[in-house]
């Protein structure tokens, strides 16, 4: 994951993954990029057959972005779902609390 020039398409983003993150863009992982303004993300994913590109722009708010020390951060699918909804995935709040055990 990283901030990038959001004019890039699939090939440009795949090249960033390969050259800057030193990872295989065709390995089946999702790679998520956010623009500097924080309201646009692009995701590339290779499913073994071809590359897909997903883009989302929030009408309000910003995507909560992780601090990436080595250029990449791994997220669970639940954390990614929160991020894509503009929710602070680092500290999501449950709508309920478990009752006491006793």
Question: 39 lies in a domain?
Answer: yes
The length of the chain is 102
Total tally of structural domains belonging to the chain: 1
Specify the higher pLDDT residue, 4 or 98.
98
Question: 14 lies in a domain?
Answer: yes
Mean pLDDT of 84-100: 79
Whether residue 38 contacts residue 62, with contact meaning beta carbons closer than 8 Å, is answered with: yes
Whether residue 58 contacts residue 86, with contact meaning beta carbons closer than 8 Å, is answered with: yes
Of 25, 23, 39, which Cα lies nearest the Cα of 71?
A: 23
Residue 65 has pLDDT above 80, yes or no: yes
Residue 50 has pLDDT above 90, yes or no: yes
pLDDT at 68 (0 to 100): 75
Cα–Cα distance for residue pair 8/46, rounded to 1 Å: 16
Whether residue 25 contacts residue 52, with contact meaning beta carbons closer than 8 Å, is answered with: no
Question: 7 lies in a domain?
Answer: yes
């Amino acid at each position: 994951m990283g901030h990038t020039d959001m004019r890039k398409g699939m090939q440009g983003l795949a090249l960033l993954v390969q050259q800057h993150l030193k990872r295989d863009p065709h390995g089946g992982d999702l790679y998520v990029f956010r623009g500097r303004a924080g309201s646009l993300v692009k995701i590339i994913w290779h499913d073994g057959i071809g590359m897909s590109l997903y883009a989302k722009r929030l009408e309000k708010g910003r995507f909560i972005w992780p601090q990436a020390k080595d250029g990449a951060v791994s997220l669970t699918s639940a954390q990614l779902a929160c991020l894509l909804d503009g929710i602070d995935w680092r500290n999501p709040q449950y709508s309920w609390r478990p009752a006491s055990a006793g």
